[in-house]
Amino acid sequence: MALFKRSSSTPQAVPAHVAIIMDGNGRWAQKRGLPRTAGHAAGAETFRTIATYCKNIGMQYLTVYAFSTENWKRSETEIAAIMGLLEKYLVEALQKMAKDRVKIAFFGDLTPLSPRLRALCEQVTEVSQNYEGVQVNICLNYGGRDEILRAARAYAAKCAAGAADPQALDEAAFSDLLFSARIPDPDLIIRPSGELRTSNFLLWQSAYAEYYFTDVLWPDFTPAELDRAIAAYNGRSRRFGGVK
């Protein structure tokens, strides 16, 4: 665990990998009489603030759920707004990348995205691959079940081609077939907005994650709220199925 010193109220130990379901944008906008897209714009600002904070406190990995395989059911206007916000963020990220040194990666199948957004994702991944600041994993057209199915298909294809043995597949080898290959499982998964579901997020990787739920809506989420989540995490006893 990385150690950081900020103030007496902030937690001392930072989990290596925190994952966040950025939920509540729509309700945040509704409460203010604004269109849902305004909630996503505010949510994108919160994401910027939290990603910067995670870098400053020495977190190694931050994974955020930006767009799920199920989110295509939303209106065209809402989908276009979310994709537009992602594009805007990636263009900005490219401009200040050399200074920020944040590594960006994507979990999900990027093929249905617009050619422009896909090209930006590829460019950002490539340019930032050796940066050593926090690694931000953006889940985009991501679903936990979809990820597991893809890995199963990939291994089955190898077996069918005679290049792998079904009996040789173990948890480590399976993990290496996921979008999160070579990244440690999340220690802490945060879901704001009061919903108590995992919503197809990191199904395999969350096996021993600690969950933190809060009623705060994502656009209202602050570094202080993240500190509270980390403090709660630090108060838990992680046994990974064993006894302490």
Contact set with ligand FPP (CB under 6 A): 22-27, 40, 43-44, 47, 64, 66, 71, 82, 85-86, 89, 138, 193
Given the complex with ligand FPP, which of 77 and 236 has the nearer CB atom?
A: 77
Nearest distance, CB of residue 61 and ligand FPP, angstroms: 15
Distance between CA atoms of residues 176 and 66, nearest Å: 22
Shortest Cβ 162–ligand FPP spacing (Å): 41
Identify how many contiguous H helices and E strands the chain contains and give both numbers.
7, 8
Q: Which is nearer to ligand FPP, 138 or 188 (CB)?
A: 138
CB of 167 to ligand FPP, least distance (A): 40
SS3 232: helix
Determine the 3-state secondary structure of 11 from DSSP.
Answer: coil
Q: Least distance to ligand FPP from the beta carbon of 71, Å? A: 5
Q: Considering beta carbons, is residue 138 or 189 the nearer one to ligand FPP? A: 138
170 labelled catalytic: no
3-state SS class at 211: strand
Nearer to ligand FPP, 138 or 209 (CB): 138
Report in angstroms how near the CB of residue 85 gets to ligand FPP at its nearest: 4
CA distance 173 to 157: 15
Q: Which residue is nearest to ligand FPP (CB)?
A: 26
In this structure, the number of other CB atoms found within 10 A of the CB of residue 69 comes to: 18
Q: Catalytic annotation on 71?
A: yes
CA geometry: angle at 159 spanning 179 and 142, to 5°? 20
CB-CB contact of 203 with 147 (8 Å): yes
Question: Least Å distance between CB 176 and ligand FPP?
Answer: 26
Helix (H) or strand (E) holding 117: helix 115-128
Q: What share of the chain is helix, strand, coil (3-state, %, to 5)?
A: 45, 15, 40
For ligand FPP, the closer of residues 121 and 138 by Cβ is 138
Strands (E), the chain: 2-3, 13-14, 17-21, 61-68, 103-107, 135-142, 188-191, 210-213
Q: Report the residue number, 23 or 227, with the smaller CB distance to ligand FPP.
A: 23
Amino acid found at 64: V
**190: how many CB neighbours lie within 10 A of its CB?**
28
- Residues labelled catalytic: 23, 71
